[in-house]
Structure 1
Amino acid sequence: MKTIATKHKALFFLLLTYSLVNAQISGNQVYGNSSSNYNNAAHSNKTIVVNNNVLSVSISILMNSKADGFVMTLGLNEEAETVTLCNTKINSRIDGFLAKIKALGIKKEESYVDFISQTKVYDFTVDGSTAQQFEKGFEIKKNIIITTANINHLEKIITMASEYEIHDIIKVEYFNEDTDQIHTNLFEQALEMADVKKDRYLKSFRKKIVGTPDANESFEVYFPKNQYKTYQAYESSEIQTHYNNRNTNYLKKLARKNKSFYYDGVSSAGFDKVINANQTEVGIQYTLTLTVSYKIDTSI
């Protein structure tokens, strides 16, 4: 009887999973969509499962990583009566801007000008009730792609770009230099943790493993551009209209209501290990889930 009770106690200890309970202030995000997805749902796996004499151990790790660098893409366009004049004007703006950002230590090889399009521009002349279309000139569009390792440079680049009427911030990509090494490190840590869980089970129940284990893993990378959500926070009154009153005529003007965006990364809940859990800077997130299966010796 004592032996059974001891085994039950050990099994409870092995299969116990932890949960983090924190006092929470929800904030205005509650006005947004509450759709359930991987970002806001707790990650959960059965950490130890015994089925048909096979012991399966699962480990999940989340890593928050600061970016090693950023790639910013800026867009600009220029219109003129001829292609030559159009190209001269847009190149003048680009050359002035690229010369300006040299003060930030951005080298020539860290920027690239991408030619996007050259199109004709048309307009209309109106004579009485007749509108006649005519060729007005040309428009050229180009993008400037800039790489920097300093996050503080991003806002400075945007300010400098505005001096040359470059206002279109198309996108900012985050990157780490050696994703393969990050993958390897996470795999090795997960393997060590799986080995500890396996040994704990074997010791508690006096079991042995035969043969070689099988393993499968899932490695995912989450970039900031896909992790933002939007909401509009406001409460509004309503106007009730009496449609049977023909003298009721009014114009309702709606106030402008701003949309807000916020970063909502992968939740740390349910992971066996979280690396850089308290990182506040928006960066890149990595998850690795490793499941190792061992065959139990049934002759004991």
Structure 2
Amino acid sequence: MKTISTKCTTLFFLLLTYSIAKAQISGNQVYGNSGSNDNASHTNKTTVINNNVLSVSVSILMNAKADGFVMTLGLNEEAETVKLCNTKINTRIEGFLAKVKTLGIKKDESYIDFISQTKVYDFTVDGSTAQQIEKGFEIKKNIIITTENITDLEKIITLASEFEIHDIIKVEYFNDDTDSIHTQLFEQALAMAEVKKDRYLKSFRKKIVGTPDANEAFEVYVPKNQYKTYQAYESSEIQTHNNNRNTNYLKKLARKNKSFYYDGVSSAGFDKVINANQTEVGIQYTLTLTVSYKIDTSI
């Protein structure tokens, strides 16, 4: 009886430890929306279908660091006239770009994109009458900067704030030669498909006739589409008693912080993952190759 009791106690603690470990690994992201299945695991199979065709599938995931970044900053300026408005915004832009040059960013690595020029209106109030009047103009422009150094991004943001440029519109990631990455993944997938095919033929003593058919899917995943959000908090409710139904009260909600995190394509289910331990957010590439071989049925 003691032995059975000891085993049950041990099993209980093992299950409890496993449960705690799972909770630690999942983190606060469990508060997010888990309904999305964008980054579902890949499942690869080697099968023979009914018409005597061997179909071999190989999937590869590559995590690649970006070769460069394109940052877009937005700013606006208001003034009584178009000329004054344009002068003021250009002064801010020129001062900012002069500081950016100290980071080694060349003139041809920046571009000013004119966005809009609009009239600005306000109201004058005389007694009970409010009249809309033309107050001036507003000009909006974007500054687009290219850099190869990821550490420049934060420096650029800090320099921009000195000129009251606070709108970081977006940051694009890019690789210089996507074609070579595609070729690399294809060649590796083809070699792995050959290994799978040969293993099957050897195991079941089959032979191939004719030439194979193949199709592939090459996908590129950039960071801007891979971020998710969640809010981790527990809240209570206010309940009024029936005898206080007519009592007016004000409920002020506390501000809840919203968290964002990078959730790239999961490595689960791939035949091979290149740069699996890369911590720097970059660009992900996937290639799935399916090769179909006709089996000799005369044997």
TM-score, normalization: structure 1?
0.90
Letter in 2 for 1:33: N
Letter in 2 for 1:31: Y
Q: Could you say if the C-alpha distance between residues 221 and 24 of structure 1 is closer, same or farther in structure 2, counting changes exceeding 3 Å?
A: farther
Letter in 1 for 2:77: E
Letter in 2 for 1:73: T
**How does 1:100-249 map onto structure 2 within 5 Å?**
100-245=99-244, 248-249=247-248
Give the match's secondary structure for 1:26: helix
- The whole-number CA distance in structure 2 between the counterparts of 1:23 and 1:219 is 35
Q: Who is 2:31 aligned against?
A: 31
Q: Who is 1:96 aligned against?
A: 95
Post-superposition offset of 1:36? 3.6
- The whole-number CA distance in structure 2 between the counterparts of 1:68 and 1:289 is 24
What whole-Å deviation, never above 9, does each CA across 1:230-255 have from its counterpart, x for those lacking one?
10001112211124325633221111
Give the match's secondary structure for 1:25: helix
- The whole-number CA distance in structure 2 between the counterparts of 1:67 and 1:114 is 24
* Counterpart check, 1:295 vs 2:297: no
Matched residues, number: 278
Letter in 2 for 1:113: I
- The whole-number CA distance in structure 1 between the counterparts of 2:162 and 2:117 is 24
Segments of structure 1 that go 5 or more residues without pairing to the other structure are 1-21
Q: Could you say if the C-alpha distance between residues 213 and 23 of structure 1 is closer, same or farther in structure 2, counting changes exceeding 3 Å?
A: farther
Q: Who is 2:8 aligned against?
A: none
Q: Who is 1:3 aligned against?
A: none
What is the CA RMSD across the aligned residues, in angstroms?
Answer: 1.4
- The whole-number CA distance in structure 1 between the counterparts of 2:47 and 2:195 is 12
Q: Could you say if the C-alpha distance between residues 251 and 24 of structure 1 is closer, same or farther in structure 2, counting changes exceeding 3 Å?
A: closer
Give the match's secondary structure for 2:243: coil
Q: Who is 1:64 aligned against?
A: 63
Q: Who is 2:254 aligned against?
A: 255
Q: Given that residues 242 and 248 in structure 1 are in contact (C-alpha distance below 8 angstroms), is that contact kept between their aligned partners in structure 2?
A: no
TM-score, normalization: structure 2?
0.90
Letter in 1 for 2:151: N
- The whole-number CA distance in structure 2 between the counterparts of 1:265 and 1:234 is 24
- The whole-number CA distance in structure 1 between the counterparts of 2:46 and 2:62 is 19
Q: Who is 1:8 aligned against?
A: none
Stretches (4+) displaced over 4 A: none
Q: Which has the higher helix share?
A: 2
- The whole-number CA distance in structure 1 between the counterparts of 2:23 and 2:278 is 19
Letter in 2 for 1:38: D
- The whole-number CA distance in structure 1 between the counterparts of 2:250 and 2:145 is 49
Letter in 1 for 2:28: N
Q: Could you say if the C-alpha distance between residues 244 and 23 of structure 1 is closer, same or farther in structure 2, counting changes exceeding 3 Å?
A: closer
Q: Given that residues 46 and 54 in structure 2 are in contact (C-alpha distance below 8 angstroms), is that contact kept between their aligned partners in structure 1?
A: no
Post-superposition offset of 1:47? 3.0
Give the match's secondary structure for 2:285: strand
Post-superposition offset of 1:126? 0.3
Q: Who is 2:19 aligned against?
A: none
Post-superposition offset of 1:50? 4.1
Q: Could you say if the C-alpha distance between residues 215 and 246 of structure 1 is closer, same or farther in structure 2, counting changes exceeding 3 Å?
A: closer
Percentage of pairs with the same residue: 89
Q: Decide which moves more: 233-242 or 210-219.
A: 233-242
Post-superposition offset of 1:117? 0.4
Post-superposition offset of 1:49? 3.3
- The whole-number CA distance in structure 1 between the counterparts of 2:50 and 2:175 is 40
Q: Given that residues 227 and 262 in structure 2 are in contact (C-alpha distance below 8 angstroms), is that contact kept between their aligned partners in structure 1?
A: yes
Q: Decide which moves more: 245-254 or 186-195.
A: 245-254
Q: Who is 2:265 aligned against?
A: 266
